[in-house]
Amino acid sequence: MDKKIGVLLLNMGGPEKQEDVRPFLYNLFSDRQIIRLGPALLQKPIAAMIARRRAPVSMENYQKIGGGSPLTRITAEQAQALEKILEQSLAGEGSCIVRSCMRYWTPFADTVLQEMIDAGVTELIALPLYPHYCRATTGSSFSDLRQQNAKLGLNLPIREIRSWPAEPEYINALVARIREGLALFTDNEQEAVQLVYSAHSLPKKFIDQGDPYVEEIKHTIAAIEKQLGKKQIGRQGTLCFQSRSGPVEWLEPSTPDMLKQLAGQGCKNILMVPIAFTSDHIETIYEIDMLYKGQAAELGMRLESTRGLNDDPQFIKALRTLILRALHSQ
């Protein structure tokens, strides 16, 4: 076959340097699928105002992790690793090209789609690097991709992988990271380690309106704990939500509140699992490894976190399985 498959790894994107922070925030708050800022006509002006006000604090936080987000680099590394093993799997069925496609920063969908056309791609598979569907992440990325495909007059056929919360190889990769994290504690300490799954928060109204995000996260946790078994963890892990901002009602409990609650229960050792993140970025490197680790220490607890999946070979195999399944399904 001379079929050429294009694979798009969809992600949020992130500012790579200090001067990127404000325009990145503007792009983020301009998206009405995440947040509606008054009437549609005022969305962008209000987004510009919010970006201007928030940029200094965000820039300071990014400075603490090297000046910018590593997300673009890591997603490109994931794409490169996935392309390599897909080429081996597709031998005789055609060829493939894998690229990252970001929602709020470069590389944007229009640029990546044009690259696909120039490379001779005949069909696309869109794989969100969000395992759990949410209209503010996967939904927004799909919508943007469709709009750009139509706007550019390309009309490439796109197969969309909606979510994959319990994909076995993905669960295997998470379990391996958790076992690695538990090994940071002594044998005696492990008996009292509390697993804490921290996911990116979401306005509660999304769930009330039927968004499956929380239920899909719970599917992932159930699959993890089934594989770990009671011998590995003495008690069930607990779920909390980080990175909330603004005056709306957010999912509870927040990660800071969960840490206070665990400290009040006499907890001494925590292994935090960034359950909804497949790449390291500011939410893992700064919030978890710096902010929450510091908060836990002040509360008399030791907090360690599992390493990001990033381009771990086991995780890349999970992505390959998802692509091959989509390719071979009718």
80: pLDDT strictly greater than 50: yes
What distance, in Å, lies between the first and last C-alpha atoms of the chain?
17
Query: What tokens does 196 get?
Result: 């804490």
| Percentage of the residues of the chain whose pLDDT score is greater than 70 | 97
Q: 258, 185 in Cβ contact below 8 A?
A: no
Q: What is the pTM of this model?
A: 0.95
Per residue, what are the HEC states of 181-228? HHCCCCHHHHCCEEEEEEEECCEHHHHHCCCCHHHHHHHHHHHHHHHH
| Percentage of the residues of the chain whose pLDDT score is greater than 90 | 87
DSSP, collapsed to helix, strand or coil, labels residue 125 as strand
| Per-residue pLDDT tens digits for 203-232 | 999 999 999 999 999 999 999 999 998 665
Query: What tokens does 245 get?
Result: 């901002």
pLDDT band of 329, cuts 50, 70, 90: confident
114: pLDDT strictly greater than 90: yes
Cross-strand pairs, 241: 199, 254
Q: What is the pLDDT of residue 29?
A: 93
Omega within 30 of 0 (cis) for the link into 131: no
* Range of weakest confidence among 68-82, 193-207, 229-243: 229-243
CA–CA distances in Å: residue 45 to residues 27, 32, 49: 11, 13, 6
Closest CA to 8 of 111, 151, 152: 111
Stretch 134-147: mean pLDDT, rounded?
A: 97
Could you tell me how many residues make up the chain?
330
| Per-residue pLDDT tens digits for 116-134 | 999 999 999 999 999 999 9
Q: 174, 220 in Cβ contact below 8 A?
A: yes
> What are the start and end residues of each CATH 3.40.50.1400 domain in the chain?
168-305
Total H helices, total E strands in the chain? 13, 8
Task: Tell me the C-alpha distance between 179 and 278, whole Å.
Answer: 17
Q: 64, 38 in Cβ contact below 8 A?
A: no
Average pLDDT, the chain: 94
Q: What is the pLDDT of residue 1?
A: 47
Stretch 251-263: mean pLDDT, rounded?
A: 97
Handedness of CA 175, 83, 135, 200 (dihedral sign): positive
Q: 271, 305 in Cβ contact below 8 A?
A: yes
Domain 168-305 sits in CATH 3.40.50.1400: yes
What is the DSSP annotation of 141-194?
HHHHHHHHHHHTT----EEE----TT-HHHHHHHHHHHHHHHTTS-HHHHTTEE
Has 283 been labeled as part of a binding site?
A: yes
Has 200 been labeled as part of a binding site?
A: yes
